[in-house]
Amino acid sequence: MFVGDGGAAASAAAQFTSSYRVKFTRDEFLKLVEIAEPQIIYHRKRMHFFAFDGFVMYTFECSDDDFRVKIIHAIEFSNMAWAE
């Protein structure tokens, strides 16, 4: 696997993800993780999130230990257009 593969996949996913975010309680978020089966869940401060069904799904009520998938710790979360 090439290092660039993840960036290309993330870029492609971003093209199909709405700027809308959907917030869940802990229990509902965990149910959604079972349904969506994400390979990665992102974590930033109190928020855990992943893209599914064209939206960003998130909760403030989980901890890393709640998941059996890889957790990636992000340094920024924004819905602003990308700029360097």
With cut-offs at 50, 70 and 90, classify the pLDDT of residue 9.
Answer: very low
Question: What token pair was written down for 82?
Answer: 């990308």
| 21: exposed, middle or buried (Cβ count in 10 Å: 0-12, 13-18, 19+) | middle
Beta strand pairing call for 21-23 and 55-59: parallel
pLDDT in the model for residue 1: 37
pLDDT tens, position by position, 50-79: 999 999 999 999 999 999 999 999 998 887
pLDDT in the model for residue 15: 55
pLDDT tens, position by position, 15-50: 566 778 999 999 999 999 999 999 999 999 999 999
pTM: 0.76
